[in-house]
Amino acid sequence: MQLVDKGLIEDFADLFTLTHDQLLTLDRMGAKSADNLTAAIETAKTKPLNRVFCALGVLGTGRSMSLRIAAHFGSMHAIRDADAVALAQVNGIGNDKAPVIVQELAELAPTIDKLIAAGVNMSQPGFVPPASTDAQTDAETSAQNAKSELPLAGPTVVVTGTMTGPLADRSRTEMTELIAQAGGRASSSVSARTHLVVAGDNAGSKHDKAQALGIETITPEELAHRLAGHLT
C-alpha cells in the first residue's frame, strides 16, 4: 500500500524497477531489508516465462495453463504474436478461450512492455522451436525420440504432501515445472489415469487413493533420484 500511496508503482511490473533508495523511503524499511528486497527482485527477474505469464492474471490461465502456454510457444514474443487459431492449439484452451486470451494480452501490452524493459525473463527454459523447413518431419521425429528418452516421458504425475530430501525446498509450482521438464504431466488429483504419485510427509487421502487404485507411489527422494539430471 505504501508503494502505491507514494506513487512508486501503478502495477506489479513497476516492482521490477524499484531502486534501493526508493525502498528506503518506505516506513520501517531499513538498509538490510532494502538490500534483501532488492536481491529478491533481481532473483524474480530470472524466473521462467510461465511464472511471468501466470502473474499477468489472464482469465482462465492459472499455473498449469500458464506452463502449457509457455512450453508451447517458448517466448512472450511468440505468445503475443499468436492469434486465436494458434492459441487454440494449446491443450485446454480451445476455440472459446483463445479469443479472450488474445484480447487480454492486447490490453496488458503496456504492462508486458514494462516487464521487458525492466529485464524480466521472457523465455521458457528447455524450449526447442519447431523446424520450418523440409527437415521439419525429421526434426519432429527427433524431438519425439528425445522426449521419449526423458525420465517421465508420458506419465501423469500427482505430487502430494510435503517434499523432503533434495526436493524439500521446491514449491508446488516448481514441482510442476520439474515434472514437465522431465517429460511428464502434472495433475492435482488422483484418478485411474494417474501413472505415478509422489508422496511426501503427511500425504493424506491422495496417497490412500493411489494405493487403493494400485498406482505406483514413490517418495520425493526416489523422484529426485530418477530426475537427477534435471535438478539444478
Q: Residue 128: inside a domain, yes or no? A: no
pLDDT digits (tens, 9 = 90+) for 69-116: 998 999 999 999 999 999 999 988 988 899 999 999 999 999 999 999
Tell whether 28 and 56 lie within a shared domain. Answer: no
Same domain, residue pair 22 and 75: no
Kindly tell me the number of DSSP H helices and DSSP E strands found in the chain: 13, 4
CA distance 90 to 134: 24
pLDDT of 224 strictly over 80: yes
CATH code where residue 167 lies = 3.40.50.10190
Q: What's the pLDDT score for residue 37?
A: 92
pLDDT of the residue at 139: 47
**What's the CATH code of the domain at 72?**
1.10.150.20
Choose one of 88, 117, 146: the last residue of a domain: 117
Sheet (strand 185-187) strand order: 185-187, 156-160, 196-199, 216-218
Partnered with residue 60 across adjacent β-strands are none
105 in the same domain as 63: yes
**Cα distance from N-terminal residue to C-terminal residue, the chain:** 36
Domain assignment present for residue 140? The answer is no
Task: Decide if 151 is inside a domain.
Answer: no
For cell 512508486, what's the residue?
8
Asked if residue 229 has pLDDT above 80, the reply is no
User: What pLDDT, on the 0 to 100 scale, is given for residue 138?
Assistant: 52
Q: Are residues 34 and 63 in the same domain?
A: no
The answer to whether residue 145 sits within a structural domain is: no
Q: What is the pLDDT of residue 141?
A: 47
* 58 and 104, same domain (yes or no): yes
| DSSP for residue 156 | E
| pLDDT at 143 > cutoff 60 | no
Q: Is the predicted pLDDT of residue 196 greater than 90, yes or no?
A: yes
Do 86 and 101 fall within a single domain? Answer: yes
| Overall average pLDDT of the 208-213 stretch | 92
Q: Tell whether 96 and 62 lie within a shared domain.
A: yes
* 14 found inside a domain: yes
Residue 136 domain flag: no
Quote the number of domains for the chain.
Answer: 3
Dihedral angle at the C-alpha atoms of 202, 173, 13, 75, nearest 10 degrees?
180
Tell me the residue range of the domain where 69 lies: 49-117
Residue carrying the nine cell digits 494417474: 194
- Same domain as 13, residue 53: no
What integer pLDDT is reported at residue 155 of this predicted model? 85
What confidence score (pLDDT) does residue 2 get?
A: 81
pTM over 0.85: no
Q: Give pLDDT tens digits for 115-135.
A: 999 999 999 987 877 655 454
Q: Select from 68, 96, 117 the last residue of a domain.
A: 117
Average pLDDT along the chain? 86
